[in-house]
Chain A
Amino acid sequence: MTKSATSSLIEIARSIGQNIAGPAANDVDEKARFPIEALNAIKEQSLLSAYVPQYLGGAGASLRDLSTISEELGRHCGATAMIFAMHQIQVACIVHHALDREYFRNYLSDLVNHQHLIGSVTSELGVGGEMRSSICAVEHDADNFTLVKDSTTSSYGAHADDLLVTARKSYSSTGNDQVLVLVKKGDFTMAQNGNWNPLGMRGTCSAPFKLTSKGNIEQILKVPFSTISSHTMVPVSHFVWAGTWIGTARSAVSKARAFVRGQARANPGTVPPTALRLAEVVPLLQLLRTSSDALLSEYERLISSDPPSEELSSLSYALKLNNLKISGSELIVEIANRALNICGVAGYKNDSKFSLGRVLRDAHAAALMVGNDRILHSNAGMLLVLKDD
């Protein structure tokens, strides 16, 4: 995609963030409601099909563009950014792994026209948070399937048009012999199984749901989920999540900057003590951005080789990606905390223009969505065999 087309997508995201998502963010947070006005604007501007290749009618955006769009939205509303990010992860799974099938090419063309929001149903009751293991299984005959799944958290489950669901390939398959299944609007019900009243990221409305679905076997991606997971779902998640976190962190830092500027204006000629604290927090934001950028460049190189580089399924690459998640999710909380210390009581108040409550609460979600301890446990295992040779 051309540079000007890319910058116009990002301009659109910036404008939606500033004019629509931002003004609604406190209400979305307070009521733990879906950010419908921002999502409507995102659909109107065809951002949901940004990653669909141009020959299918999409904008042909790059992964870097998606991460930047998530950032622009995240500067104003973390939940809106996360919903956009989660949707794009689903689109990327189809774009990277199913374009050889006419069914999915048509599906993506439809996505361009109808701007369907795709939700993700990877979590499941009873597997202990392990995405790479399923209890539920696809039951199918020669043409059709049914699939029932008890999820623990389904991002915007009640608001998604279509869903991508992980399940065992069949009833005789082992827990990690999984497939990814597209389930379409009208073919499923999502019965909410519990409340949604979390600390932060309240607008994502990620309650537990029981999914009951059916469809044609064409809707099952042929590539094993193990490959989709390591080649696309995990890396893309970490890049678009990093984008939303950078956005959240920027919003915290920009409040701190405005606060410090106010103090400086009150006493021209002196550098207020908070300016030093600001000088300390800005490099953390830079670190978050550069660590994501560097890995993103590497990923774009690995995934664009034909066939995609085997390095994508190597332990050393998995470790690097996991490290991005661990360090990014810790940095965002650190940045938000430091911003609060700079703004002081003004940041602590919920009704001040420097208020950091929502940002802080949203920031804490980063370490929990795919729990850092789970990731550290997996890293610890890999470090037993990795040699850095």
Chain B
Amino acid sequence: MEGKIRQILKDHGRLSIDTTKLAVDSDLYQAGMTSHASVNVMLALEGVFDIEFPDRMLKRSVFESISAIQTAISELKTN
């Protein structure tokens, strides 16, 4: 899962640093992800993992790091 997330961030996150070098808890917004880019990341995550983020999860903290995204996807996958 982490590899796929990193790929999505590479393709859509518009980060200023190499996504392979990101720590799992690095702040993606501080790494340059704009709110516009974050929407594209959300869309790509929904497509790749075949999930739908409910509106309550569409907030900054859920997408602020690789580990936060992993937690969110796992929560949706187990439900």
Contacts and interface: CB of A to CB of B under 8 A. Distances in A.
A175 interface: yes
Given A314-B58, A314-B59, A386-B55, A177 B30 contact: yes
Given A177-B30, A226-B29, A381 B36 contact: yes
Contacts, number: 63
A34 B54 CA distance: 48
Interface string B48-79: 00001111101111000000000000000000
A384 interface: yes
Contacts of B32: 174-177
Interface size, B (range): 20 to 34
A388 B39 contact: no
Contacts of B33: 176
B34 A230 contact: no
Interface in B1-53: 16, 29-36, 39-40, 42-43, 46, 52-53
A378 B35 contact: yes
With most chain B CB atoms within 10 A of its CB, the pick from A173, A175, A176 is A176
B55 A314 contact: yes
16 contacts: A132-B35, A173-B30, A174-B16, A176-B34, A177-B30, A313-B60, A314-B55, A314-B59, A314-B60, A315-B39, A378-B35, A378-B36, A381-B39, A382-B58, A388-B55, A389-B54
Interface of B: 16, 29-36, 39-40, 42-43, 46, 52-56, 58-61
Interface of A: 132-133, 173-177, 224, 226, 230, 310-311, 313-316, 378, 381-382, 384-389
